[in-house]
Amino acid sequence: MTEPIERTARYQDDLARLLAALEPVQRAEVLDGVREHIDAALAEVGHAPTDADVDRILGELGSPGMVVEAALAERPAAEGAAGVGAAPAGGSWREQLMGRWVPPVALLLLLVGGALMLWGFPLLLVAVGIVMVVASPLWVGREQLWAAIALPLCSSMFLGHMLFMRWRVWLGPFTPADIIGIFCTAAALVLVAVLWVRGARRARRYRRDDRLAAGLEQAS
């Protein structure tokens, strides 16, 4: 399954989660309608869908929370009173990894663990960070690869250069190793910043959708 298709599948999973307490028939109607819209839009693309195509298609639908609001607005008041329930208390492991705490914790584990990787034991930090990034829906496809592979490698190469190349950046003329060290430092910091922003943005969106589901539960 390609990354763009995985994104549409995750979108439908998130929508199904928000609709979990709706009557099965009503829930199936909403999910089937969204699935048909996505399938038809993908078929019209005429080529393997890109991230831009998926952005446009999902943008037309709006966030899962907006789809839920629209679906309830189209139903009679008595029927809508059945409500849409929030996820069970505690939620699944995937829902736990949607929180705003996930980006800073996961990325700092990868950054610090990668930087200290040459010392051995911080490999555990890197392993935990990789599991969090791969399992969390806050990052997709290439973002997970960049976080799980490029980030710890860049930070480890930087530390190796700083510790074992006698601090040449400041004490002597530049060498190819110095240039690699500077590049790895910049790359690691840029990766952390970009992935942190993207993860935090998606975490806010998931939290907004969860508040919507909870509000609909209380109103029912």
Per-residue pLDDT of the chain (220 residues; tens, 9 = 90+): 567 778 888 888 888 887 776 677 777 888 888 888 888 888 888 788 888 888 888 888 877 877 777 766 665 543 444 444 444 444 566 667 878 899 999 999 988 888 777 666 678 888 999 999 988 878 877 888 899 888 888 887 766 555 555 455 455 566 676 677 778 888 888 999 999 998 888 787 777 665 555 554 554 4
**What ranges make up the beta strands (E) of 126-198?**
none
Q: Are 199 and 101 in contact (CB under 8 A)?
A: no
**C-alpha span between 71 and 125 (Å, rounded):** 43
Answer yes or no: pTM beyond 0.85: no
Structure tokens at 34: 């969204």
Query: What distance in Å separates the CA atoms of residue 43 and residue 48, rounded to the nearest whole number?
Result: 9
> Each residue of 37-72: b (16+ CB within 10 Å) or e?
ebeebbeeeeeebeeebbeebbeebebbbebbeebb
Query: Distance of alpha carbon 37 from its chain centroid, rounded?
Result: 23
Measuring CA to CA, which residue among 52, 62, 76 is closest to residue 18? 62
For 18, residues 6+ apart whose C-beta sits below 8 A from its C-beta are 64, 65, 68, 84, 209, 210, 212, 213
> In the structure encoding, which two tokens stand for residue 10, read together?
């995750």
DSSP helix, strand, coil percent of the chain (3-state; round to 5): 75, 0, 25
Torsion angle, CA of 9/10/11/12, rounded to 10 degrees?
A: 60
Q: Provide the pLDDT for residue 174.
A: 63
Instruction: Domain ranges for the chain, please list them.
Output: 3-84, 95-204
